Amino acid sequence: MDNSGGRRWLGGETALGGLLLLLGILVLAGQTLDLGRVGWPVFVIVPGLGLLGLGLAATGRLGEVLAMVGGVVTMAGLVLLVQNATDRFDTWAYAWTLVLLVGSGVGRWLVGVVHGRRDLVAGGGWLIGAGLAGFLVLGCSSRSSSASAATRRAWPAATSWPPC
C-alpha cells in the first residue's frame, strides 16, 4: 500500500492552514495598527510569500513557476513598502529591475537550493546579479531627473539613492 499521495496532500493542507492562520493574524494586526493606511504593501507581500512557499513545496516545473511568480509578487510588495515609507514612487523608473529580475531570480534560486538543482541556483544567481546591476545603472542614469528641485531642498536624503 502506497501512502505517498496521502502525505503529499497532507502537506498541502498544512500549507493552506498556515496561510489561513497568517491571513487571520494579518487581518487582526491590520485592524489594530491601521495597516490600510501605512502598511498596505503587506497585502501584496503575504500572498507573494504564500506563492513562494507553495512553489518550494511543489515539485517539477509547477514548483519552479510558482516560486518565480511568488518571488516577483513578494519583491513588488517590498518595493512598494519602501516607496510608501519614503514617498518616492518615482523610483519605479528603475525599481522594476528589482521586481522582475531579482524577484524571479530569488524564486528560482530558492527552488534550486531546496531541491538540490545547481542549474536553477546558477540561473537564479545570474538573474539576481543582472537585476541588481540594472537597478544601479538605471538608478544612476535617472538620478538627476527623478527628484524635483523642491524635493532636493526639502529632503536632501531623497536624492542620495542610488549612490552614484
Decide if 26 is inside a domain: no
Residue 34 counted as domain residue: no
Domain count, the chain: 1
- Residue 12's pLDDT is what? 56
- Residue 3's identity, in one-letter code, is N
Q: What is the pLDDT of residues 78-89, one digit of tens each?
A: 899 888 888 888
Cβ-Cβ contacts under 8 Å for 72 (sequence gap 6 or more): 48, 99, 100, 103, 104, 107
Q: CA–CA separation, 164 vs 19, rounded Å?
A: 41
pLDDT of amino acid 36? 61
Q: Quick one: pLDDT band at residue 102, thresholds 50, 70, 90? A: very high
Residue 11 belongs to some domain of the structure: no
pLDDT for residue 40? 82
Domain carrying residue 86: 40-144
pLDDT, position 43: 83
- 55: in domain: yes
Each residue's pLDDT tens digit, 4-60: 554 444 455 666 677 677 777 767 766 666 656 667 888 888 899 989 989 988 888
Q: Is residue 51 assigned to a domain?
A: yes
Residue 163 lies in a domain: no
In a domain, 29, yes or no: no
**Domain-located, residue 50:** yes
Residue labelled with grid coordinates 503587506: 42
